[in-house]
Structure 1
């Protein structure tokens, strides 16, 4: 029983049972929230809620695509499931949102890190949705280390 659940959590089945989908969605919310929390603390325009929603939406798109790929839409030769197209669509949508956050003020570009973190939250959600939660957790940890540690280094060097 536990082996079956573990296999499903790791994306080995095409159909995603509701309990597994729920776990993946929650993982996307939590991991996206961790990235968003750092932006929230820094009082950036896209913070905790935005990052959580971006991550969960990306996760949901993957889960829905897995469900759709298991449905009958004709013969096997007529069925075209291309996960790369889905990833492209999600990243394009997130990039659109992230671009809206970035602006120029007084000749200086602002909020590029927040835009990049939103894009990363989308990738974290895609990883969770495809059952790659350990990979998503590692990416979350690394991005938080980069965002926090580099800020400390910048302050120490007096560049920020």
Structure 2
């Protein structure tokens, strides 16, 4: 009875930690929200509990060899399929990587709590939330002069030069450029530009 209470505590704690991470994702309108992270954490904790304790009745049989890490390893590899479901590739832009990483980390948190490593699981959940909440504003602060621009245009000689000249007039310079010929029959190209905004442009915007 004592073990069952302990197991239920682990499941509840894993669910709370997973829901906390999912809440932050849902606030930012991401595909995987509270329910997804909650279920991933609880399911992972259950798998770890089963892996460690479910075979206690046969472990004394010396002809049976058990590897408690096998189920955990399958959870880690299997969660990749769920993570892939929240990644979106659209017009050379990949979205959802952070949420997918969060789902993967949530599975690890569930495994840790399921194994009884409460402090480790709580610490990891706290670090993931810190990463989600604090690192994005920090990124924006240090790379605030960078902007991503997507252009669809007719492919013509000197197109890049014209775009570069137009950007320079507004105080911007091209740092990186990606070109994808999406419709060769119509002669259209998709251009992804990463540009740096200089002080002159910022002054105009203010």
| TM-score clears 0.5 | yes
Separation in structure 2 between the aligned mates of residue 130 and residue 105 of structure 1, nearest angstrom: 39
Residue in structure 1 matched with residue 195 of structure 2 by the alignment: none
Asked which structure has the greater CA Rg, the reply is 2
Mean Cα deviation higher: 123-132 or 150-159: 150-159
Deviation at 1:74, TM superposition (A): 7.1
Residue in structure 2 matched with residue 20 of structure 1 by the alignment: 6
Residue in structure 2 matched with residue 6 of structure 1 by the alignment: none
Between the two proteins, the alignment pairs up a number of residues equal to 145
Matches within 5 A, 1:69-84: 69-72=55-58, 75-76=61-62, 78-84=63-69
Check if 1:46 corresponds to 2:51: no
Residue in structure 1 matched with residue 75 of structure 2 by the alignment: 90
| TM-score for both structures, normalised by structure 1 | 0.84
CA pair 88-16 structure 1, distance change in 2 beyond 3 A: farther
The Cα RMSD (Å) is 1.8
Residue in structure 2 matched with residue 128 of structure 1 by the alignment: 113
List runs of 5+ in structure 2 lacking aligned partners: 148-206
List runs of 5+ in structure 1 lacking aligned partners: 1-14
Residue in structure 2 matched with residue 8 of structure 1 by the alignment: none
Report if the CA contact (8 A) 1:36-1:46 is conserved.
Answer: yes
Query: Whose relative contact order is higher, 1 or 2, with alpha carbons under 8 Å and at least 6 apart?
Result: 1
Report if the CA contact (8 A) 1:16-1:63 is conserved.
Answer: no
Separation in structure 2 between the aligned mates of residue 108 and residue 121 of structure 1, nearest angstrom: 25
| TM-score for both structures, normalised by structure 2 | 0.66
